[in-house]
């Protein structure tokens, strides 16, 4: 159990960097496409699909980690403890919100024929999701949360 948890935790932490890079790149490409009036290209679609797939894999890893770590042991009476509250409620809900926003906007963008509107929707909504994600990551400089870079 401990070995599985450790492997999944390191996978989740390492995949974070790939997800962040993909989202930053996707936001940049879609913002440039919107601002420059480009036609929506197949490479943009592949980038969006790949980014959505990556973030869904990250979500699944996170849910499995949550179940392994907390399962039925969540004690909502301990919400005064900032670390427990962060991992059991704040991190989870904010990440789910970001994934829902990315998934929803990607699905909606598929149905938009105007390239400018499609680029705009993805660039703005994914930027918001990226900001939510950056806020919800237990960065090492957030000492009370006790997480590392990997």
pLDDT in tens, 32-46: 999 999 999 999 999
* DSSP SS3 for 141: coil
On whether the CB atoms of residues 15 and 54 are closer than 8 A, the answer is: yes
Angle, CA of 99, 103 and 107, to the nearest 5°? 170
Percentage of residues in the chain with pLDDT exceeding 90?
Answer: 71
State pTM to two decimals: 0.88
What's the pLDDT band for 16 if we cut at 50, 70, 90? very high
pLDDT of amino acid 79: 75
Kindly list the distances between the CA atom of residue 52 and the CA atoms of 31, 49, 67, 101, 147, in Å, as whole numbers in the listed order: 17, 5, 23, 11, 25
* Residues 95-136 pLDDT 10s: 999 999 999 999 999 999 999 999 999 999 999 999 999 999
CA–CA gap between residue 40 and residue 54 (Å, rounded): 21
Most distant CA pair in the chain: distance in Å? Answer: 53
Decide: 73 and 149 in contact? Cβ < 8 Å: no
**Chain-centre distance of CA 26, in angstroms?**
13
- Residue 139 and residue 148: Cα distance in Å, rounded? 7
SS3 content of the chain, % helix, strand, coil (to 5): 80, 0, 20
- Rounded to the nearest angstrom, the gap between the alpha carbon of residue 31 and the centroid of all alpha carbons in its chain is 19
């Amino acid at each position: 159990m401990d070995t599985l948890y450790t492997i999944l935790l390191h996978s989740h932490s390492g995949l974070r960097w790939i997800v962040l890079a993909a989202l930053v790149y996707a936001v940049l490409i879609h913002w440039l496409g919107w601002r420059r009036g480009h036609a929506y290209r197949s490479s943009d679609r592949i980038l969006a699909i790949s980014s959505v797939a990556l973030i869904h894999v990250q979500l699944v890893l996170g849910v499995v980690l949550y179940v392994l770590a907390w399962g039925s042991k969540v004690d909502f009476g301990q919400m005064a403890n900032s670390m427990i509250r962060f991992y059991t409620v704040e991190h989870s809900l904010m990440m789910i919100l970001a994934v829902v926003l990315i998934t929803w906007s990607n699905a909606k963008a598929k149905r938009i024929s105007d390239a400018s509107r499609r680029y705009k929707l993805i660039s703005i909504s994914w930027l918001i999701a990226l900001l939510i994600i950056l806020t919800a990551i237990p960065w090492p400089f957030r000492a009370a949360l006790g997480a590392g870079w990997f």
